[in-house]
Amino acid sequence: MDDDEARAAGRALSSPLRLRILRLCRFDARTNKELADLLELNPGTMLHHVRTLVDTGFLAPQPERSGAQGAREVPYLATGRSWNAPMENAPALIMETVRQQVALADPDRIYFGWLGLRLSEAHRDELHGRLNALFAEYKDREPDADGADYSLAVFLHPEGTPPASTSP
């Protein structure tokens, strides 16, 4: 990817809305109208975002189909290209996207954990490697035909708190 492509990819992925579009199109091809309805947006606004994702290779048009009144519809499917794409300020962007998604979910169906750890650099690197391997394993796994859609987000970050004083 050259510098211009990297900048365009970064801009395309700089919006929680576009990240949500990619999530919605991960397993199911969806039309501009379907996406607009699901995200409660004007179809014209949605078309701008869809075109941006298509132009940067994050969404791919699928074969045309006829809509309810015979209109031509183009469904789009996520390409998976976003998996390792450059994203500016990725942690904050992903956290905001997750916040928006969680706000729409049934609270009784959300599993979460929050754990404080004290790790050496070697143990932190080990945990990071294990998390990456787990994500890669599930990313590459074929979706269950009878399964429901889920999202998984893990944030490993420094606490930012100073160590406790050890003087008397």
| DSSP secondary structure letters along 23-46 | HHTSSS-EEHHHHHHHTT--HHHH
- In the prediction, which pLDDT does 28 show? 93
Q: Which residues contact 61 (CB under 8 A, 6 or more apart)?
A: 54, 74, 75, 76
Q: Has residue 168 got a pLDDT over 70?
A: no
| Mean pLDDT along residues 30-55 | 95
Q: Which residue has the higher pLDDT, 65 or 68?
A: 65
- At the topology level of CATH, where does 3-140 sit? Arc Repressor Mutant, subunit A (1.10.10)
Q: What residue has token string 């859609």?
A: 149
Q: Which residues contact 32 (CB under 8 A, 6 or more apart)?
A: 43, 46, 47, 50, 74, 76
When the pLDDT of each residue in the chain is averaged and rounded to a whole number, the result is: 91
Confidence of residue 44 (pLDDT cuts 50, 70, 90): very high
Domain ranges for the chain, please list them.
Answer: 3-140
- In the prediction, which pLDDT does 130 show? 97
Helices assigned H by DSSP within 13-148: 16-24, 32-38, 43-55, 90-104, 121-140
- What is the helix (H) or strand (E) element at residue 3, kind and residue range? helix 3-12
Q: CA triplet 57, 27, 145: central angle to 5 degrees?
A: 155
Q: Has residue 34 got a pLDDT over 70?
A: yes
| Mean pLDDT along residues 83-93 | 87
Q: Has residue 90 got a pLDDT over 70?
A: yes
pTM: 0.83
Among 4-8, 25-29, 114-118, name the one with the lowest average pLDDT.
4-8
130-164 pLDDT, tens per residue?
Answer: 999 999 999 899 999 999 999 988 888 888 887 77
